[in-house]
Amino acid sequence: MTTTAVRSDPSTERPQTPDDSAEDSRHLKIAMVAPPYFTIPPKGYGGIEAVVADLSNALTAAGHKVTLIAAGANGTRAEFRPVWDATVPERLGEPGPEIIYAAEARRVVEALAAEGAADVVHDHTFAGVLNAPAYAQLGLPTIATMHGPADSELRGFYRVLGDDVPLVAISHRQQALAPELSWIDVVHNGLDPAAWPYQPCKGSYALFLGRFSPDKGAHTAVLAARAAGLPLILAGKCAEPAERRYFREQVEPLLGPYDQMIGPADGTRKRELFANARCLLFPIQWEEPFGMVMIESMICGTPVVALRAGAVPEVVSHGVSGLICDDPEQLPQALLEVTGLDPADCRRHVVQNFSAAHMALGYARAYRRALASLEVVPAAQPSAAPARPRPAPLGLHRTGSPPRRSGQAPAAR
């Protein structure tokens, strides 16, 4: 496998944006419902929360009025209506908090509707979309972003909801895996380029950053780096029993003397790791719906070496911003050849295709499509919302909370 670097001046880059029109200049009022598990933006783990923060900021910068409905404190430029006074990361994956939070968030949306402060609801939670019929009675369409895999239980869930909730896919591959669902648009995830460093001079190590589960392929990353003779740094979430077991049984025994496991990385540490890495190694073993770490790496000027699966071919420009392999046996050679790619081209690829401004334009288009398709129904009288954020019920944010129960997580993270 050979690679030809495409080199050009990053100072001349211009973002590519969706087609605009006179109608697109109309500013919207958006109720942005975020999950209650991590801060917006997150301090470390929390891909959905990072997208919500960048989207809220970009929509606000474009002149739209965004009201963020979330738990804890507000770290965005949007207006803020808290549902709970603290986030509940320790309850991620339990059904109880999802249902209770959805019920209380509904009252906040109803209050916004009564104030004339919302045109559309954008829900990023799992259970919150069940409120869509009630919002429609208020004249508010609801759209939902499918942050998780389409080839999972989510498919059946959204199939049952039907036209009640228009869906936005985060990749064309995700949409193609469940073509019968009520898709209204495809909008790739994005980020704010100004919030990420650019480093043209790279270190010698390859980087794996992600959840420690077999489908993310940390074991494959270790084997590939060893075969290429490169040190590997592994970072990411390794807290759940299944994650710890996977690391202990399938990853740790493979580590060599020059490999390093550092665990979770906060925003500052993550940027340092991306900026100085030789490349991001992304040997996924599943239908990845998007893969935020790929654009986070490329915006730092660091190319991606990945296996062809899920949305990888949509996100990585082969031979420009990374190398895509069809077989794990090709990864070691790709790790050696990836230094032939230009860091400036990696960053430009994200600026032109995956910026937060580009994402905001795509969602504004989706909101208008939802508004245009909403059937007009008599508005119901909204209930009064609490004047202040309520404490998380059932001790959700206190130590000593009940043990986790089995139940589907709100989205794959």
101-111, pLDDT tens digit by residue? Answer: 999 999 999 99
C-alpha to C-alpha distances, 396 to 69, 86, 171, 361, nearest whole angstrom: 18, 9, 33, 36
Asked whether the predicted pLDDT for residue 301 surpasses 80, the reply is yes
Asked if 177 contacts 151 with a C-beta cutoff of 8 angstroms, the reply is yes
Residue 17 lies in a domain: no
Residues 266 and 222 in one domain: yes
Q: Tell me: pLDDT of 259 over 60.
A: yes
- Amino acid of residue 82: P
Using the predicted structure, report yes or no on whether residue 117 has a pLDDT greater than 60: yes
Give the least confident one: 58-62, 101-105, 133-137, 385-389: 385-389
**Which residue type does 66 have?**
V
Q: Taking residues 285-302, what's their average pLDDT?
A: 97
Its pTM stands at 0.86
- Give me the mean pLDDT over the 145-149 stretch: 95
Q: Please report where in the chains the tokens 């905001």 appear, as a residue.
A: 360
Burial of 383 (0-12, 13-18, 19+ CB in 10 A): exposed
Quick one: 185 and 60 in the same domain? yes
213 and 319 both lie in a single domain: yes
Name the residue range of residue 89's domain: 27-192+356-395
- What is the average pLDDT value for the chain, to the nearest integer? 88
Pair 95, 231 in one domain: no
Q: Indicate whether 33 and 144 sit together in one domain.
A: yes
CATH number at residue 93: 3.40.50.2000
| DSSP percent split of the chain into helix, strand, coil, nearest 5 | 40, 15, 45
CA pair distance 163, 149, nearest whole angstrom: 19
Percent of the chain exceeding pLDDT 70 equals 85
* pLDDT, mean of residues 170-197: 97
The pLDDT score that the predictor gives to residue 93 is: 83
Same domain? 378 vs 292: no
pLDDT tens digits for range 3-15: 333 333 454 344 4
- Answer yes or no: are the C-beta atoms of 200 and 343 closer than 8 Å: yes
The string of pLDDT tens digits covering residues 194-219 is 999 999 999 999 999 999 999 999 99
Question: How many Cα atoms within 13 Å fall on the side-chain side of residue 196?
Answer: 29
Q: 284: how many CB neighbours lie within 10 A of its CB? A: 20
Q: How far apart are CA 320 and CA 6, in angstroms?
A: 6
Is the peptide bond between 41 and the residue preceding it cis, with omega within 30 degrees of 0? yes
* Range from 39-53, 311-325, 359-373 carrying the lowest mean pLDDT: 39-53
- If you average pLDDT over residues 174-185, what whole number do you get? 97
Q: Flag whether 174 is in a domain.
A: yes
- Is-cis flag, bond preceding 97, omega within 30? no
Q: How many domains does the chain have?
A: 2
Find the mean pLDDT for residues 252-280: 96
| pLDDT given for residue 186 in this prediction | 98
